[in-house]
Amino acid sequence: MRIPEGVVIAPSVLAADYARLADHVREAEEAGARWFQLDVMDGRFVPNLAAGLPVARALRASTEAFLDAHLMVHEPGRFLGPFADAGADLITIHQEASLHLHRDLTEIRRLGCRAGVALNPSTPAETIGEVLHLVDLVLVMTVNPGFGGQKFIRPVLPKLGRIQELVAERGLAPTRLQVDGGVDLETAPLAVEAGADVLIAGSSVFRGTGTVAENFHALQSAAAIRL
Ligand code: DX5
């Protein structure tokens, strides 16, 4: 499936009501959401557990939208095939979690999925220089992974520009730049201004002050301000 173009607000279902996941996803889709992220956590790479393959399959069955599996798991190479089979359009793995990042990213593409690599706040952009030609997307974490509802770490933002420089230095086509964690009405425009074009938002969509649709539209407007 083609990656949705332009600046995209992509709801993270981590913050959704899992007792009525399909309803929450439908509400976001009716509001215009074209991309959803499923946070997968193993309790080892991050100090939390969340979603697995049954939820991935249920999510796939509930939407035609672009589905992004964010694997916050140790040695993600073990789970690439199962998440591709579960219907992920894009699989993102952490630079810090993969013992063989080049091999794992190559395998994601061999499986027919788009490939993403994620960087924790303390991980320099330079650590992925040798695999930028293998990815469709770089996820710049704006919180320490493991939990929704955290505060956006603003000093991470210059990393987006550094990644753009590394991509340009290698003569590669621009990669999609995704931020994840603490994205809200205040931080969304900052992220776009710094170079992000995919904004993952969980709490601010599913646990905001308005309805899911109102929250989603408010974020879209906030992100579009500085375009
Ligand atoms: C952290 C998770 C969160 C989630 C979005 O491991 O990846 O960043 O997707 O969280 P909030 O609620 O901050 O949008």
Phi, psi of 69 (to 5 degrees): -100, 115
Residue-wise pLDDT for 46-94, tens only, equals 999 998 999 999 999 999 999 999 999 999 999 999 999 999 999 999 9
Q: 171 C-alpha vs ligand 1 centroid, how far in Å?
A: 32
Residue with tokens 């974020």: 219
Residue-wise pLDDT for 179-216, tens only, equals 999 999 999 999 999 999 999 999 999 999 999 999 99
Q: 85 C-alpha vs ligand 1 centroid, how far in Å?
A: 24
* Most informative mutation of 9, 12, 45, 154 for ligand 1 (most atoms within 8 A of CB): 12
CA distance 120 to 100: 17
* Most informative mutation of 41, 72, 199, 200 for ligand 1 (most atoms within 8 A of CB): 200
Q: Give the ligand 1 atom nearest the CA of 46.
A: 6
Q: 145 C-alpha vs ligand 1 centroid, how far in Å?
A: 7
Catalytic site positions: 39, 180
Q: 151 C-alpha vs ligand 1 centroid, how far in Å?
A: 10
- Residue 224: what pLDDT? 87
pLDDT at 226 over 60: no
The secondary element (H helix, E strand) that includes residue 165 is helix 158-169
**CA-to-CA separations, 143 to 147, 156, 180, 192, 201, in angstroms, rounded:** 9, 9, 7, 16, 12
Q: Which of these, 80, 83, 70, 82, lies nearest to 36 by C-alpha position?
A: 70
**Could you tell me the pLDDT band of residue 2, with boundaries at 50, 70 and 90?**
confident
Which string of DSSP letters, residue by residue, matches 79-139?
THHHHHHTT-SEEEEETTT-TTHHHHHHHHHHTT-EEEEEE-TTS-GGGGGGGGGG-SEEE
pLDDT at 124 over 80: yes
Q: Give the ligand 1 atom nearest the CA of 201.
A: 14
Residue nearest to atom 4 of ligand 1 (CA): 148
CA distance 54 to 101: 26
- Residue 199: what pLDDT? 98
Q: Give the ligand 1 atom nearest the CA of 150.
A: 13
Q: Give the ligand 1 atom nearest the CA of 182.
A: 13
Question: HSE-up of 10 (CA within 13 Å, CB side)?
Answer: 30
Q: Which of these, 50, 51, 38, lies nearest to 11 by C-alpha position?
A: 38
Whole-number percent of the chain with pLDDT over 90:
97
> Is the pTM higher than 0.95?
yes
